[in-house]
Amino acid sequence: MDTIAMIINKDKNKLKFPRGFLWGAATSSHQVEGGTKNQWSEWEKENANKLVKLAEAKWQDWQKNKFPEMFNPQNYISGQACDHYNRYEEDFNIAKELGHNVHRFSIEWSRVEPEEGKFDEKEIEHYRNVIKALRERGMEPFVTLWHWTNPLWLEEKGGCESKKFSFYFSRYAKFVAENLKDDVKFWITINEPTSVIASAYMQNSWPPQKKSLIAAWKLYRSFARAHIEAYKAIHSVSKKSKVGFANILHSFKSYHKITWMDDVSIFFARYFTNRRMLNLTHGYNDFLTVQYYFHNRFKFPRKIRLNDKPVNDLNWEMYPHGIYRILKHLKQHKLPIYITENGLADAGDSKREKFIKDHLKWIHKAISEGVDVRGYFYWSLLDNFEWDKGFWPRFGLVEINYDTLERKIRPSAWKYAEICKSNELKYDY
């Protein structure tokens, strides 16, 4: 990597990134592939009608008017999604055209191990071809092993709560690594464990919709164990591998001028969202990741919303400065850092270019202050199935017409492409 001095440009509006910086986008199997059969696909079918009813109370009027799809039960069924399983070459052609030199995707566990202990060679061959297609187009693969979906046999045994979750997960990780080790260097074991703990076990909105603080508490250790076992399994078959997990990191701000009461809430929220998984996996990460979407404002004892702040289509506040504070904090770990997700739902594509540039500006500042950031993955390459919210939130650099499956590159994707291709951000506003 370049020295800090080399990335500081005299022209203040032109920010140069370190040589070899990785530029790309991310996806996950269940959200784009289509045709998956796992605990989410089953839950969607059972809950589509309920989710329609919930939408009425959950979203603001402007969102309901803009996205009437949220009142159609089909919106909540992943079904064929983007059919990326069959169209990955077409999608990677687009990524290549957009100047990406890295791509993050996930392997669907339920395809590779559809029955307990029985691995499907055909599916491994599929993912071998996916990786080959990336390499042929000059993109480094970042492979996620678990992006929230469990095979049905595992779900019957208790899913992530099973005492043997780490055993099953590391056995699967080892199988995949043994088969793909020659073509993959970067492995991400588990995607955002704390999002699953919060949404499935505390807020009751994702499967298995079990509101239980005890289960939530135990899951931290269970996910940490799964990561560590998988870390060891991957390293046992491939010494050159780099292994980490994908961590969602929130930014926090207190509301009152005298902040100590708000700070108490922030202390606990920050510990359970940002810190605990990192502490529990200490020593078992070859790199760190940042997945940044949320800026949380606290007015003791809870989170609040301020109406005058810029938001995306999901009404999430956009706060680019937050990523800088997160990165500065991670510096102490002295590990390479990849921004493995950062993005927004913006169907009209009117905010995406500025969103990306603003975040990159802060990331660049962190790099210039010695934080070892080595790559940025926009979420997501394609519009996709946004879990319990279904298809209406549009995160893609590429727009998907879900009737025809036609792909259309959004204007902001070309703006991001300029940055990827030149390794430099022209910041002209």
Give the interface with ligand BGC as residue ranges (CB under 6 A). Answer: 28, 31, 191-192, 195, 248, 291, 293, 341, 379, 386
Give, rounded to a whole angstrom, the gap between the first and last alpha carbons of the chain: 28
**Nearest in space to 127 (alpha carbons), one of 162, 82, 84, 71:** 84
**Closest CB 379 distance from ligand BGC, rounded Å:** 6
Whether residue 356 contacts residue 412, with contact meaning beta carbons closer than 8 Å, is answered with yes
3-state secondary structure labels for all residues of 235-246: HHHCCCCEEEEE
The residue among 270 and 394 lying less far from ligand BGC, judged by its C-beta, is 394
The residue among 237 and 269 lying less far from ligand BGC, judged by its C-beta, is 269
Residue 16: in which H helix or E strand, if any?
A: strand 14-16
The residue among 71 and 294 lying less far from ligand BGC, judged by its C-beta, is 294
**Closest CB 259 distance from ligand BGC, rounded Å:** 28
**Closest CB 292 distance from ligand BGC, rounded Å:** 10
The residue among 317 and 341 lying less far from ligand BGC, judged by its C-beta, is 341
Burial class for 121, CB neighbours closer than 10 Å (0-12, 13-18, 19+): exposed
Beta bridge partners of 303: 298
**Closest CB 264 distance from ligand BGC, rounded Å:** 26
The residue among 44 and 386 lying less far from ligand BGC, judged by its C-beta, is 386
Beta bridge partners of 337: 288, 373
Mention every residue, 6+ apart, whose C-beta is less than 8 A from residue 15. 7, 9, 360, 361, 364, 424, 425, 427
Whether residue 357 contacts residue 321, with contact meaning beta carbons closer than 8 Å, is answered with no
The residue among 141 and 343 lying less far from ligand BGC, judged by its C-beta, is 343
Q: Write out the two tokens for 227.
A: 């990561």
**Closest CB 191 distance from ligand BGC, rounded Å:** 5
Q: Is 367 helix (H, G, I), strand (E, B) or coil?
A: helix
**Closest CB 378 distance from ligand BGC, rounded Å:** 11
**Closest CB 343 distance from ligand BGC, rounded Å:** 7
The residue among 150 and 191 lying less far from ligand BGC, judged by its C-beta, is 191
